[in-house]
Structures are given as C-alpha cells and as structure tokens.
Amino acid sequence: MRFYEYEAREIVRRAGIPVTEFGFATTPEEAKAAAEKIDGPSVVKSQVLSGGRMKAGGVQFADTPDEAAAHTVDVLKIEIGGQMPRGVLVDTKAEVEQEYYAGVVWDGTAKQPVIIFSPVGGIDIEQVAEEQPDKVGRRHISNLRPLTGFEAKEVIASTGVTGSELNKLVPIVTKLAQLFIDNDMTLAEINPIGRLADGSFIALDAHMDMENEARGRHKKLLAELGVGDDETREAREPTAFELAGEAVDSEDHRGVAGNVTEFDGNLGLVIGAGGGSLTLFDAVRAHGGKPANYCEIGGNPSVSKTCGLAKLVLQKPGVDKIAVMMSIVSNTRVDIVARGVIKACLELGMDPSEKIAIFRIPGAWEDEGFKILDAYGVEYADRSVSMHEAAKRAVEKIGAGS
Amino acid sequence: MSILVGANTTFIVQGITGREAVNLTRECLDYGAGAKVVGGVTPGRLGREVHGVPVFDTVEQAVAHHGAPIDGSVVTVPPAFTKDAVFEAIENGIKLIVIVTERIPRRDVAQMVELASANDARIIGPNCLGIIVPDVIKMGGIGGPAKDAAKAYTPGSIGVISRSGGMTTEMSSTLTAAGMGQSTAVSIGGDAIIGSSYAELMPLFEADEATEGIVIYTEPGGRMEAQLAQWVAENNSRLPIVAFMAGRFMDEMPGMSFGHAGTIVEGKEDTATEKIARLAEAGITVAEEISEIPALIQAKIDERKS
C-alpha cells in the first residue's frame, strides 16, 4: 500500500528525522494558509500516487502565499498517471548545497532488508547505480538483532562520505531503517536528503509503501493519517465491477471467489486458483481470446459465492459466454463449483449449455460435478484435456458464435 | 530416494485442531505407507486426539511424548501467531518446517528464516501446500485427499518445484499421464519471501540419485528465477531443467498483484519476459504450455545420457 507524499513526510517526521515545514491542502485557501506558515518561497506539489509529477506540471514554485494559492487551483486540475490529485503539499523551498539518497527495501533473495545510500541524490537511484556504481552503498541488516547504528555508518562510509557529514547522516539513515522495520514497510525512501548552508540535514521528499498483509497491526497510524480501510492504493483505483467482485467474496468466509480484475473482452472467466488463474488467463490470450475479466476461485468456496461470482461475470456488458476452468483441485470441490455456475445461469434465465463455453475443473468430487453438468448439457473436460486445450476450445466457441 | 522427507520422517501439526488441519492430518495419515504424525499442538487442547494423533499444548510436550527428536512440523496457525509457532518449533529442535499459512507479513517470515538458518533448520513456504514423495509420504495438503493425490502423483525420476500449490499437482499429473513419475514434488509457496527457493533446493535434488530432471513452475515477481539461473551457471548441474512461466500478461500491468502475494511486476527484472530470457540463457527450457513439459524434459534427459 503506497502512501501519498504528505503522509510519508508525516511518517518521517514522527520517526524523528528533520523535515521542512509543510502543509497538506485541498483548497487554495488552505494552501495560502500553509504558505503563510512557511513564511518564504514555497513549492506546491500535486499529491498523486504515481511519478512524473514534474513533467506533468504538478510541481510549481511560489514566492508568495497568494501565488501558492493560485498554483494550487491549477495543480488540482491536472490528471497525472490517470489519477486526479488528492490535494497538494505546500512545502518550504529549501536552499540546499548537496542532495543525498537513502532508502530501505527488502531483498527477497537474501531475505533481509537492505539499506541503500548515495551522496548523489535527487535523481533516480537506479540511474546513479548504473552510471556511478561506486557512489551507491548497500548493506543488509539482520532481522533478529536490533539496529544500533553502525550498519548505517558502514553503508554511508562505503560511498566515501566522512567527517561531520557522516556523523550527521548516520542517525537519519538509522531512523529510516528503524521506521522501515517498525511500520512493516516494503519501501522507505528519502530522496533527496538535503544539506543546508548551515551544515544541517533535512528530508525533502519521501516515498513509503506498507505491506498490505501488515495493515492490521498499524491501525493506529493509518487512522491518524486518515487512510481508510477501503483504500486499496493499488496502481489503479478499483472499478465498480471489481468492487462488486469484492462484495461477492466477502459474503461469507468460506474459500475465495473474487480477486476480480476487469478487462474489456467478450469471454467471461470463472477461473482458479492462484497459479491456475495466471496460467489460464495467458492460455486464453495465447489462443487469440479476449478475456472480460481475471478472477480466482479457491479454498472451496460456497455454492452461493461461486454463483455470485459467475452471475457478476455473466452480467458484465459485452460478455457472450463464460469459461469455467481451474487447475486440478484437491481442496475446492468440483461439484460445488458446477452447482454454483449452473445456478447463476438459471437464475439469470440463461441456458447453461449455451452460456458456459467449457467447464474444465478436474479433481476432488469430479464425478459428482460431471453428473450435474451432463444433466444440463454443459461441455466439460477432465484432466486429460490440458488447461491450454480447454482455453482453446472456449475461444473457438466464442469465435463461432459472434 | 527423495529429498527433504522419506518413509521414516516424523512430524507434528501445529494448529492441528483447526478445520483445515484436521483434514490435512487425515490426508497425510492415509497417504502412501501413512505419515508418522507423532503429535499435534494447539494451546489449551492437551489430552485431545485428532484422528488418533495426540494433541499437546506445547511442542516441548510433543517431543517429550515422542521420546526422541521430531523431524518436522506442518504449521497451520493464523498469520498473527505463525512466527511464535515457528520459533517454538525451531527452539525445540525441529529441522524441517512447512508453513501452510497465507498472508504473513514478510518481516515475520524473514525473522523465521533467519532463526531457522542459525539453527540449521529449513523452512518450506509460507503460503504453500508442502512436500510429497509419491506413494511414500506427503507432508502438507499437497495433492489433497490420499486417493486424489494417488491419481496425480506417481513415483519416478522428476523433481518438481513450484510457486503454486495447485500447479504442482497439475504439472505432476501431466507428467504422470505421460508415464513420467516424480522423485519429490515441493510446493515452495507464493510469497515474496519464502524459506526455500529453487536455487536453495537444487543442491538437494542434485544429491538425490533418483532424480534425473527438474520441472519448475514460475511467475512474475521477485528474483528467484534469476537466482536459479545463476546457480545453474555456477554449478555445472547434472540435472536438466524445464520451466513453465505463468502470468505473462502481467508484464503490461506493473504494480498490480495477481495470484499470489509475491506475484507483482515492480521492476524490469520482475517481468515474465525478462525471467524467460534469463532462464533460457542458463540453458533452462521454458515451455509454452504445460502439455509440452513431459516431452521437453524427456528429450533433455536423453540428450544428457547420450
């Protein structure tokens, strides 16, 4: 889950890292008030989750509070990365002598967090790593032993930074690493950290991602920042169709029939499980099919939940037929899925044999499931028909029908 | 032979009184020669039985009752309690821990893995279905009820490693249908951080005389495939590998997670396209469809023999 910059800044401030005076505003009046508090030149920055703000005109400089208010009116109108801004951050325009980079991310191979530091900040760290690799320091940190400070010292010193610079940066980078750990972040980045004329250091911009699975243990922080439980903060906002899928899945706690993603094709998919859905979605596309959606069933969902998901997909505008397919199931019961999808067709006044292009779910309780499908004339396949072959048959059927 | 587990492996089930764990215990007891499930742990349930398996409050009690070190544990407790359960297992001398639980924050997982390596223990998972040695033993829900598992898995010479539990069975069933059995199949889990990656299991298969080839199931997200490619390049492995890559469509949708928690394209190296290229460079054949896998791996095995 990604934080907006104004939230990330607040998290940095709470961790005891110095930040510039800043305010969050959703109206020109609020922006003016924030700029007055700053008492000097300010920067008005669009608050969106994607990058590329500068290029899109989402960052404007102001000399007076009135100018900041005027820029706010403009910036709030600009869509960036398909997203309207949530507001603006009104920030102090700091005069910095040098910019530094500090970040902490997970290394899935080493299975430890890694601190990354560079005395070349303000630009993309991957670019620095490519062009000046000796200017980027990395160091893993233990998952079990508490951080004490030498870890940050080693990373910073490895980039050639020494003297009072080193000693002032160590606590900032240590606090950043501690914040990463304490808040279950998957990314905690300050870019840039600025060195001011008086030799002090200050965080000028921050990026934070919190692991979704850990949101439950940071309820207090999230509530204080005003992050709603329903905010997914994914790369794009969920569509109405996707939200309806979530509603189906939360009907009861038995299994999964959801994780719906909307696409614009004509073949509705009722597919599972995790890896099976990925495989089947690829298979449909490989055979020239156009999926109307992605979804996942698994963990033996109830008939009513499966029915709810199938109904949602069947009713999606532009869907001609659905394909009901999974990899071999051992926990989910074939007969329960069969009953769910047939019930969905019948309740919508549709003919299952017409609407279900193919049913390919082999495994537990398959004989019982196939009996039900036989009764309604639905074409089905057992494990002797591969996932790709089943997808191909579904695509061929829909091609013949349109 | 096999890797990780064999006919004499003893294990416990932590969280044994949960609905899924009760089923899982039944399945393991019924499969092959019958797994040696020597105890279960659910705090506050000392003295109960699950399918004849005695239930204890602590792992320590289970070990004392068994009267000898216990080899493994299947952990099926809720995410908030998993770290505690795994730490308890490790501190009580258990060396192989299969974590079934999903949705554990990765910091917890990383802590478990670090404590495990400091104690010479190994973690499989989390978010996995466990390990199966066809006709001998299954440790975890892999393959489902004994009769279903018997339909998909047969003894043989192919090692299977998969980030998806269901696809472990789908691929093994495809191999079985083509007359190729499996030496051991391991569902390694779908999270961003897991106890044992492909590269970390390869040395075990390499040392297992019964294994002649490896089939893996992979997805976008993470660096595990790059790590495997590097391992292959550096170790002059005797084992040919065929991979199947699902989720190719995700390359067009960076930042969105599909299928498993660890399955997300965050950078260029995470993409299916990039991974396929890396694997191919290391001499690993990437199949376009599951049904091609048996012929591809057979051809590679024959090639090495000739």
ipTM: 0.96
The boundaries of the domain holding residue B151 are 10-305
The reply to whether omega before B126 is within 30° of 0 (cis) is yes
B112 occurs within a structural domain: yes
> Which residues in chain B have their CB less than 8 angstroms from residue A143's CB?
107, 110-111, 113-114
Query: B129 — alpha (psi -120 to 50), left (phi > 0) or beta?
Result: alpha
CATH 3.30.1490.20 fits A21-93, yes or no: yes
pLDDT 10s digits, B120-149: 999 999 999 999 999 999 999 999 999 999
Q: pLDDT for A276-292, tens place per residue?
A: 999 999 999 999 999 99
* Rounded Cα–Cα distance for residues A202 and A205 (Å): 9
Helix (H, G, I), strand (E, B) or coil at A222: helix
Q: How many domains does chain B have?
A: 1
Give the pLDDT band (50/70/90) at residue A97: very high
Residue % of chain A over a pLDDT of 90 = 88
What is the band of B266 on the pLDDT scale with cuts at 50, 70, 90?
Answer: confident
- For the domain A240-401, what is the CATH code? 3.40.50.261
Is the model's pLDDT at A402 over the cut of 50? no
Both tokens of A385, joined, read 């028909």
d(CA A229, CA A26): 21
Residues in chain A: 402
Q: Is residue B142 in some structural domain? A: yes
Residue A194 near residue A201, CB atoms below 8 Å: yes
Q: Stretch A258-262: mean pLDDT, rounded?
A: 94
Side-chain-facing half-sphere of B194: CA atoms under 13 Å: 36
Shortest CA distance to A46 belongs to which of A66, A67, A26?
Answer: A26
Please indicate whether residue B260 is annotated as part of the active site.
yes
Among B86, B122, B193, B292, the strongest candidate for a mutation testing the A interface, having the largest count of A CBs within 10 A, is B193
Tell me the CB-side half-sphere exposure of residue B87, using CA atoms within 13 A: 9
Give the 3-state secondary structure of residue A323: strand
How many residues does the structure list for chain B? 306
Subunit contact B114:A330, Cβ cutoff 8 A: no
In this model, does residue A81 exceed pLDDT 90? no
pLDDT at B1 over 90: no
Cross-strand pairs, B169: none
Q: Does the pLDDT value for residue B161 go beyond 50? A: yes
Give phi and psi for B63, each to the nearest 5. Answer: -65, -45
Share the mean pLDDT of chain A: 94
Residue B73 · residue B49 · CB < 8 Å: no
| Dihedral angle over CA of B99, B104, B106, B112, nearest 10 | -40
Nearest to A275 among B197, B246, B256 (CB): B246
Token representation of residue A341: 């999808």
Q: Is A9 exposed, middle or buried (0-12, 13-18, 19+ CB in 10 A)?
A: buried
Query: Residue B93: pLDDT band by 50, 70, 90 thresholds?
Result: very high
More confident residue, B168 or B266: B168
Domain covering A1-20+94-232 in this structure, CATH number? 3.30.470.20
Per-residue confidence (pLDDT) for residue A399, from 0 to 100:
82
Range ranked top by mean pLDDT from A49-58, A125-134, A171-180: A171-180
Alpha-carbon distance B274 to nearest alpha carbon in chain A (angstroms): 16
Confirm whether B5 is domain-assigned: no
Nearest Cα to A205, choosing from A2, A7, A1?
Answer: A7
DSSP designation for B69: -
| Nearest residue to A303 via CA among A275, A277, A273, A333 | A333
Strands, E assignment, A110-205: 112-118, 137-140, 185-196, 201-203
pLDDT tens digits, A213-249: 999 999 999 999 999 888 888 777 789 999 999 999 9
Residue B182 lies in a domain: yes
CATH number at residue B211: 3.40.50.261
Strand partners, A356: A322
Work out the pLDDT band at B235, boundaries 50, 70, 90. Answer: very high
Residue A387 has what pLDDT? 97
Measure CB to CB from residue B107 to each of A109, A184, A283 and give the nearest one. A184
Using an 8 Å CB-CB cutoff, list chain A residues near B149. 330
Q: Best residue in A239, A327, A335 to probe B by mutation, most B CBs within 10 Å? A: A327
Q: Do A111 and B114 touch (CB under 8 A)?
A: yes
Candidates B152, B170, B193; nearest CB to A108: B193
pLDDT of A136 reads 96
Which band of pLDDT confidence, cut at 50, 70 and 90, is reported for residue A400?
A: low
Residue B279 banded pLDDT, cuts 50, 70, 90: very high
Residue B168 tokens, joined: 């472990």
DSSP character for B223? S
Q: Which part of chain A has CATH 3.30.470.20? A: 1-20+94-232
No. of H helices and E strands in chain A?
15, 16
H helix intervals, A230-333? 240-249, 274-286, 303-314
How distant is the alpha carbon of residue B122 from its chain centre?
11
Q: Do B114 and A181 touch (CB under 8 A)?
A: no
Per-residue pLDDT at A401: 47
Q: What is the pLDDT of residue B261?
A: 83
Give the tens place of pLDDT for each residue, A27-37. Answer: 999 999 999 99
Structure confidence by residue, pLDDT tens digits, B13-35 = 999 999 999 999 999 999 999 99
pLDDT tens across B193-214, in order?
999 999 999 999 999 999 999 9
d(CA B306, CA B304): 6
Residue A66 has pLDDT above 60, yes or no: yes
Q: How far is it, in rounded angstroms, from Cα A167 to Cα A163? A: 7
Residue B81's pLDDT is 96
